[in-house]
């Protein structure tokens, strides 16, 4: 399922405060109006990272790379470069040879 709407830091902090007071995920879901899975994901991320803020997106790395090298690199650029170097994804895998014991005569 696709996550469409991103909650603000204030709303995430509110969910964490409910959780720390001892409310269950279902009770928090009923109080806030968000889905139980959303509440669970916020709490799980809070336990893993210790923060409730959203991590920055990876697009920033692309902007930094473009600014430092002057080259615009995208997925299609990488694919075309590899194809030009004769790296194709159509590689044939060899089948293992059948031993004499498994051969049908």
Q: Which residues contact 93 (CB under 8 A, 6 or more apart)?
A: none
Higher pLDDT residue, 84 or 47?
47
Q: Is the pLDDT of residue 64 over 60?
A: yes
Indicate the domain borders of the chain.
9-49, 56-87
The interaxial angle of helices 25-32 and 9-20, nearest 10 deg, is 140
pTM surpassing 0.85?
no
Measured CA distances, 88 to 34, 82, 92 (Å): 45, 7, 11
Q: Which residue has the higher pLDDT, 17 or 62?
A: 17
Once rounded to an integer, what is the mean pLDDT over residues 20-27?
93
Residue-wise pLDDT for 40-49, tens only, equals 999 999 999 8
């Amino acid at each position: 399922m696709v996550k469409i709407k991103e909650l603000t830091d204030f709303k995430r902090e509110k969910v964490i405060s409910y959780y720390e007071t001892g409310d269950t995920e279902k009770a928090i879901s009923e109080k806030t109006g968000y889905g139980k899975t959303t509440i669970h994901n916020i709490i799980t991320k809070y336990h893993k990272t210790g923060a409730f803020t959203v991590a920055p997106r990876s697009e920033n790395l692309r902007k930094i790379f473009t600014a430092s090298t002057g080259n615009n690199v995208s997925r299609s650029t990488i694919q075309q470069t590899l194809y030009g170097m004769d790296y194709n994804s159509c590689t044939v895998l060899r089948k293992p040879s059948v031993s004499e014991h498994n051969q049908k005569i």
